Structure 1
Amino acid sequence: MLNLSSPNLPISIIIPVYKGGQAFYDCLASLKNSRLSPAQVIVVVDGDDPHSYQIAEAFGAKVLQLKTNQGPAVARNRGAEIATGDILFFTDADVTIHEDTLEKIAQVFESNPRVAALIGSYDDQPGASNFLSQYKNLFHHYNHQIGSEEASTFWGACGAIRRDIFSKMGGFDESYRRPCIEDIELGYRLKAAGYQIRLCKDIYVKHLKRWTPYSLLRADFFYRALPWTELIHRDRNFVNDLNLQWSSRLSVIFIYLLLIVLPASVWIPPLLFLVGLLIIGLIVLNWPVYQFFLKKRGFIFTLAILPWHWFYYFYSGLAFVIGTVKHKLKRNRSILPTKA
C-alpha cells in the first residue's frame, strides 16, 4: 500500500496506463521510496486492461477506468478532474521516480511562486539494457541537460503544473488520440499565455521502456516529428531549445548533402573530398553529444551510435518537409473561397 500524506503544497500524481505490465508495477513501487509522499496517486486505465487496474488497486491508488482506449491526453485530463492537490505531477506508466523527485518538485513550487510548471529529465541509467534503449534514453537525457532552464515546452513523462493554471488552460488537447505531442502543445499555450515553465535538470525519473527499431521510428517520426512540425508552423514557434538547436538544423542539411554527394562520388571521384568534409562537419557539429556518449558508455558504443544519430537527422528532416507541406495544404484549403 502507498503511504499517502500531504506536503505544504499537496501533490497529486496522475499516471495514464494501458497494458503497463511489469514496468507499471515498478512505476508504482518506486513511489513507496519517495521521501515526500503525494496527497494522491491517480491511475487512469485507458481502456480494457484489467491487469493494470488490479495492480493499481493493490498499491492503494485511486483508479479511474475508461471504457475505450482514448490516448494519454484524455486520460490525464480525466485524472486531473478528480485531483485535489495544488500541484499535478504527470508521469508515465513505464517511468520510475527517484526518492527525491517529489521533494524537489515541491521545493521549486514553494520557493518560486511565479513558476507555473516544471519539467525534469530522464536519468543517465536507462532501465532497458539493449543498445537502442540505452542510446535513445541517454540522448533524451543529454538534450534536457543542455536545454535552457527557461523551458518552452511541457513534458508528460516528468512534468508538474499548478492545478489552477492547468484548469485555466483547459488541460491537454484531446484531439491528440495517441501518445503524441499533447504535452508540447500545452507548453506552447502556457508560454503564449505568459506563464513560466522551468526545466529542472536535477529532477530525475528513470525510463524503463525497451526501444526497438520499429517502436523508435514510429514514435519519433509519426507521433512526434510530424505533428510537432505542424504545431511549430501553427504557433510560429521556432524556439532554439531542446531538439531545435542550430547545430541540429545544420546537421540535417549536412546529412542530405552527404546523401547527394556520396553516390555522385562513384562517378566523380574528386567529390570524395567533399564527402570527407561533410563527415568531419557532422562530427564537429555534434562533438558535445559524442563527448557525452564517450564519457558515459565508451568509444565502441559512441561509434555504434553514429549511424543511428545521423539516421535521426535524416528522418527528422524528412518529417519537417512533410509536415510543412501538410500545413501549407491545410492553410490553402482553409482560405479557398467557398462556392455561392
Structure 2
Amino acid sequence: MTTTSVPAAGRRPIVDVRDIRKTYAGRTVVDGVSFTVEEGEIFGILGLNGAGKTTSVECVGGLRVPDSGSVRVAGLDPVADHAEITQVLGAQLQESALQARLTVREALELYSSFYPRRLDWRPLAERLGLTAKLNTRFGGLSGGQKQRLFIALALIGSPRVVILDELTTGLDPRARRETWSLIEDVRDSGVTVLLVTHFMEEAQRLCDRIALIDKGRVSALDTPDGLIGRSAGNTAISFTPSEPIDREALAALPGQAGIEIKDGRITLAGTEETVNAVITLLARGGITAHRLRVTEATLDDAFLDLTDA
C-alpha cells in the first residue's frame, strides 16, 4: 500500500502529480503515479531501470502526455501551457547530448538566447567550474564536465524547478560526489530539484523526500530516514569480547532481533537501543570489545523491503 508523507509546515507544493498513467504498445509503464514536490526541496524518484521513473518525469516536463491523470507545475499544465512551462522548469534528461563540435561557450550563448528571463551564463559557468573550458568542444569534455554543462543549461533560464534525470550515471566516484555537491548548491540557491536516480547512496544523501517507483507504481513515499525506519533492515553490532559473555544476557537485550556467535565473535541484529544496551553491558562487566563495528540499515535495505526488487 502506498503511503505519502505530509508536506512540511510552511512549504508549498510546486509540482502536483495525480494518478498519471502511460501505456506503450499495450504495456503499462506508469500505472497511477501520484506525488507532490514541495518548493525548495530535493525530491527523489528512485527505482530500478525500467521502473517508470523517466516516463513519469517526462510527463512532468511536458515531453510525454499521460493517458490519464493530471500534472501541474507552479499551477501550469505542462502540455496545455507548454510555452509558459519552459520559463519555470529546466531539465537535464537521461539521454542529453549536444553536437560534438559545439563549444561550451556556444552552447551557453545558444541556450541563453531561448529565455527572456535568463541568468548571466558567465558567473553560472564560473560557479560550475566551466570557465576554463569555454572554448572546449563538447566532444572533448570529460563525463563530469558534460554533466556540469547540462546543469548549467538546465539552470540558465532561471527556473523555479529543475529535473535532473540519472545525472551521475557513468561518472567515477570522485566526479559523482562533486556532482552531488553541485546539486546541493542548486537547491541552496532556491531552485526545487526533482532528482531521478537508481543510486541508493545518492538518494539517501541528497533527497529530502523520496518516491520509490516499482513497476510503474509508487510503492512508498517518505523521507530517507522514514523509509529506512519502515523497512525490516536492522542495525548490526559485531565485536570480539575480551572474555566470554553469557548468551542469555545477550538475548535479554532490548530490541535484539538475532544473535550469531562464531569463533568467539558476536554479531547482534537490533536497533539503536540494542547498541546502547550492548555498550552498557560491556561497561558493567569490565569487558573490552575488540574490533567493534556498528552497521546501520540503509536505503538499499528499505528499497528491497518496500518494492518487489
TM-score of the two chains, using structure 1 as the length reference: 0.26
Higher helix share: 1
Higher strand share: 2
Q: Which has the higher contact order (CA 8 A, sep 6+)?
A: 2
